[in-house]
Structure formats: structure tokens, C-alpha cells
Amino acid sequence: MTQLPGNLQTIESHFLDLQSLHPGASGDFTGLLNDITFAAKIISREVTKAGLVDILGATEEENIQGEVVQKLDDYANRIFLKCLGKRGQVCIMGSEEMADPIFVPANQGSGSYIVVFDPLDGSSNIDANVSVSTIFGIWRRHSRRQHVCTEDLLQPGSELVGAGYIVYGSSTMFVYTAGHGVHGFTLDPSIGEFLLSHENIATPFQGGLYSCNEAYEPFWPGPVTEMVHELKRGRGPYRGRMTSRYIGSLVADFHRNLLYGGVYLYPPTSDKPEGKLRLMCEAAPLAMVVENAGGYASDGRRSIMDIAPTDLHQRVPLYIGSREDVLWIEKKLSEPDGSL
């Protein structure tokens, strides 16, 4: 007997299903997710043809983090700014590529949403055809004042109303959560649609993968080194032999561990006591994703979701992935002789 194929669902129809869970919703949030999807398709098109056109290489300009901006970073940033909030849903946009947030003037709409994004994370991998990604977090504006300000922007991860990422890899995947599960969509480039491919992603409670840049071990705090050694010796929550996997592209590492189980860590080092990754545009959105998939994210002492940012570009140490693994790491690092 011929088997009927499963239902095909586009990402847009998934967003509409989400909206129907909130009777009375204005449609602004749905519109915003659609705008992000549209930006993702354009960026995906450029990333996948990057090897064909003369777009590779650096612009020679430095971003706020002091890193050389790759042309595709710059392009992805501009696409995001162009696509977001066209319908006036957004009041503040913050990007890893821009020193200052953009406050939308009150006379150009009174949007309820704040979007912070890393338009193209892992850009050092572009020339080697390794996966790169976009990360985004969406917060709701709480104040009623006429003009938005920094206070509206600086919210902890626990206040996120939506978050996700787009990974431009062997295929382009859009993964998001709005608090009702984590769902993944794969882009079918022939029809230009993201189709539901990974419904309700649940990450294993423990995993056999750990991902970190081990070249930094001599510069880690002693307790981090000890904890990683224990993990390798099988003294962590996972009972089997651990395996190391590190691409050096955050979302690619995170996404693999989300599906297979394991932990990604970017601890502090003596030269970077705050770590490298950014709280608002990288750590907090991924923390929301992992928590909605049953995992956990910590800075080594507390949940990433609980950290109130004081700056858009604030950095944070990150331990993220399978719940039991990250809780074990947090416990190890908070033992009396394990303090960071």
C-alpha cells in the first residue's frame, strides 16, 4: 500500500498556528517572525553563493568588538536592518555589528518589540565554507514612555518572548521558539520555503559530546581545567566515553549538541575574564532555545536567563546544552575550591 507522506507545513503557517494560541494578538509578532524569515532567505542566498562571487574577504573596517568586519557580516547586518520592523513592530534594534542600538523614533511607529541579533556569527569560517549563522532574540517593550531608551533594551533572557537561529550549513535551517516548543525548518531552495523538518526538538538530558576550544586550557581558571578533565574521565553525568567536537562556529556546535546531547563551553580565560560570547545577541537567545528544548545554560554560577545586562555588547562565559551536564558543571564550579 502506498504510504501517504506526512503533512507539509511552511514556517509561515506555523507562525499563524502560534498566533492562534493567543486570541486577540495583533499579528505584529507574526509579522516580525516573517520579516526575520525573509531576511534569512536573502542571507542564505548570498552565503551559499559566496564562493562564486567576489564577496569574500574583509572590508578592512573594525566593528565595536575590534574585529575585522567580513563583507558578508556587513551585508547580513544591512539586510536585517532593512527587513525588520517594516510594519512598525520594532522599537529598538541591536546588532553585534553596530556599536549603538537603533532607537526607532516615536513618529516612525510605536513598535512593541525589541530585536537583538548577531547577523552572521562565525564569520571567520566563511572563507573555509564552514557553517555560519544568524542568531536573534526578541523582547517586548514594557515602558509606556513616548521615546524608547537604553532601559527598554537591557532586559534579561527570562524576558525573551522569542528567540532562534538560522544556520547556513549543508542546508539552511531555521530553528525558533516562542515558548511553545522548539521547532526546526529546512529551506527548500527550489521553492524558497522553510518547511517543518524538526517538530518539538527535545535535547537529551545528558550527552556524550563536549565542545570547547582546548587550546585555551592553559589560560582557563584551574577549576575549569579540573572540571573538563573529570568530564573526559567519565566522572560527569554521562556514563559512556565522551567525545570532543568543536567547529568553532557557535550555532553549528550548539545545534549539533542540541540534537545529539552534550555541552558547549566557552569559559573565561586569563586574557578574557568575561569570556568571548555576547550575552544579548548570542548567549541569552540560545539559552531560551535550549531551555525550551529541555536543556540549560549557565555562566558557571547562575542561569544565563537570569543575568540582567548592563550593556548591549556585554560578554559572558557560557556553558550550554544538556541539562544534567550543565547543572553538573555549575555545581563543580561553585564548589568551595571551584570558584571562578
Provide the binding-site residues for ligand AHM, judged by CB under 6 A. Answer: 67, 96, 118, 121-123, 213, 248-250, 276
Bridge-partner residues for 173, per DSSP? 167, 186
Q: Which of residues 119-138 bind Mg ion (CB under 5 A)?
A: 121
Cα three-residue angle 262-268-271, rounded to 5 degrees: 145
Q: Answer for the pair 108, 117: CB distance below 8 angstroms, yes or no.
A: no
| Sole residue written with cell 520579516 | 35
Give one DSSP letter per residue of 181-226, joined into a string.
-EEEEEEETTTTEEEEEE-S----SS-SEEE--GGGGGGS-HHHHH
Give the nearer residue to Mg ion in terms of CB position, either 121 or 299: 121
Listed residue (264, 283, 286) closest to 274, CA to CA: 283
Are residues 111 and 88 in contact, defined by beta-carbon separation less than 8 angstroms?
Answer: yes
Question: In angstroms, what is the minimal distance from the CB of 291 to ligand AHM?
Answer: 19
**From the CB of residue 139, how many other CB atoms can be counted at a distance below 10 Å?**
25
Q: How far is the CB of 249 from Mg ion (least distance, A)?
A: 9
- Smallest gap, in angstroms, from Cβ of residue 96 to Mg ion? 5
Query: Residue from 35, 73, 74, 118 that binds Mg ion (CB under 5 A)?
Result: 118
Q: Name the residue number minimizing CB distance to Mg ion.
A: 121
Shortest Cβ distance from residue 163 to ligand AHM (Å)? 16
Q: Which range touches Mg ion (CB under 5 A), out of 79-87, 111-119, 125-133, 322-330?
A: 111-119
Give the Cα separation of 167 and 197 in Å (integer).
14
C-beta of 17 vs 214, nearer to ligand AHM:
214
- Distance, in Å, from the CA atom of 235 to the CA atom of 254, rounded to the nearest integer, reads 22
In whole angstroms, how close is the CB of 204 to ligand AHM at the nearest point?
21
Residue with cell 544591512: 78
CB of residue 82 to Mg ion, shortest distance in Å? 20
Interacting stretch for Mg ion, rule CB under 5 A, among 57-65, 72-80, 117-125, 175-183? 117-125
Q: Which is nearer to ligand AHM, 126 or 231 (CB)?
A: 126
- Residue 195 vs 247, nearer CB to ligand AHM: 247
Contact residues: Mg ion, CB under 5 A: 118, 121
